[in-house]
Structure 1
């Protein structure tokens, strides 16, 4: 019985250490960017040893990927949370768009997911991360909104990819001071065009 308790305790300690490293890295990646953040800076900020960092992450790039995955997951969770109630497929897409823009307004998210992410991890890796998070919710929403038409999966994915790129560009513009409502209206017109096509 005590062995199980000890194992659980070790697992909890490991999870706590990993979370502390991720939190410290996130803060520094947001503040300084990937290139200007060193692993000694991260372990100092986390109050950990370099050994602890390398026990959990192969290198700085792997740590950055884990930070990006956590941020992408948080964005998808905000979209899903905003669209839980009974909505028409169109309403869910528009409300999901607003939730995406709100989630991307979180300090540092643009830098991690849209600026440093593609530069550090490459566009294919970032697309894969997005594909299991926000783009997945977008693809599901488009499929529902375009039903009952039979839609080829490859074409649906390509459409979601293009629309996702529009969302990302709009998030960048909003971060630079453009009015969110302007982009909600523009995205709504795009979605309406896709639904009625």
Structure 2
């Protein structure tokens, strides 16, 4: 019987496959691209995993290499939206010539602009967001969004205290409260939008709600009334008119 006993056979070891991070990201992004398009054109509940596979030409095994469920794919879509919104405002937030109140305006205005430019997608995701079937995903994404916002807000509050434009003692605590307010604004905005669609909410109720949040924001950071603005009249008309 022939038996190879050379050094090559004795020293052979299995070679681990190396992962190309760029190729991995590209393939993963392809699934997210398709999901985002289908959410916008059909709605999350109206497409299946098979629709994703048919559009991408990928196998089921390839999909599960990146995502463990359709809900995980939704998670990726919403995370991408949050990343893109932050990327849109970050250059201005890094601008040393802007004051802290101006940077808060950048956060409000930049996020509002991002959503306005993608209204169909935002509304499609919002419908999914409010569904009881997606409560676990929603809570997970809320925590992720909160972590992003709080870190950003703390940097702005620290700048405001340093330059004397904010009257606050604990920037970390202030950022925590502001973040909770921003989450509340988001939840209220969704409920108000639905109310406007079914006629149960007036436009004045919308503006009064935003004014109340704005007043709370201004008091917490210690600026004079009227110093900040969430949405201008044009933006309010765009979403709630």
Compute the TM-score of the two structures, normalised by the length of structure 2.
0.63
Q: Given the superposition, is the C-alpha separation of residues 118 and 145 from structure 1 closer, same or farther in structure 2, using an over 3 Å criterion?
A: farther
- Is the 8 Å Cα contact of residues 142 and 160 (structure 1) preserved in structure 2? no
Q: For residue 150 of structure 1, what is the aligned residue in structure 2?
A: 169
Check if 1:101 corresponds to 2:107. no
Check if 1:131 corresponds to 2:146. yes
Q: Aligned pairs, how many?
A: 186
Q: For residue 163 of structure 1, what is the aligned residue in structure 2?
A: 182
Q: For residue 89 of structure 1, what is the aligned residue in structure 2?
A: 100
Higher relative contact order (CA 8 A, sep 6+): 1
- Distance in 2, matches of 1:32 and 1:111, equals 9
- Please list every run of 5 or more consecutive structure 2 residues that lacks an aligned counterpart in the other structure: 1-16, 198-202, 224-241
- Distance in 1, matches of 2:149 and 2:89, equals 8
- Is the 8 Å Cα contact of residues 38 and 47 (structure 2) preserved in structure 1? yes
- Is the 8 Å Cα contact of residues 135 and 160 (structure 1) preserved in structure 2? yes
Spell out, residue by residue over 1:108-151, the C-alpha distance to the aligned partner (whole angstroms, 9 max, x if none). Answer: 13432x44235324442122121233453234324543556322
- Distance in 2, matches of 1:164 and 1:138, equals 13
Q: Which structure shows the bigger proportion of residues in helix conformation?
A: 1
Structure whose CA Rg is larger: 2
What's the CA shift for 1:39? 0.5
- RMSD, aligned CA: 3.3
Q: For residue 195 of structure 1, what is the aligned residue in structure 2?
A: 221
Q: Tell me the secondary structure at the aligned position of residue 46 of structure 2.
A: coil
Q: Given the superposition, is the C-alpha separation of residues 132 and 47 from structure 1 closer, same or farther in structure 2, using an over 3 Å criterion?
A: farther
- Is the 8 Å Cα contact of residues 76 and 134 (structure 1) preserved in structure 2? no
Q: Given the superposition, is the C-alpha separation of residues 136 and 103 from structure 1 closer, same or farther in structure 2, using an over 3 Å criterion?
A: farther
What's the CA shift for 1:164? 3.5
Compute the TM-score of the two structures, normalised by the length of structure 1.
0.75
Of 40, 46, 50 in structure 2, the residue corresponding to residue 30 of structure 1 is 40
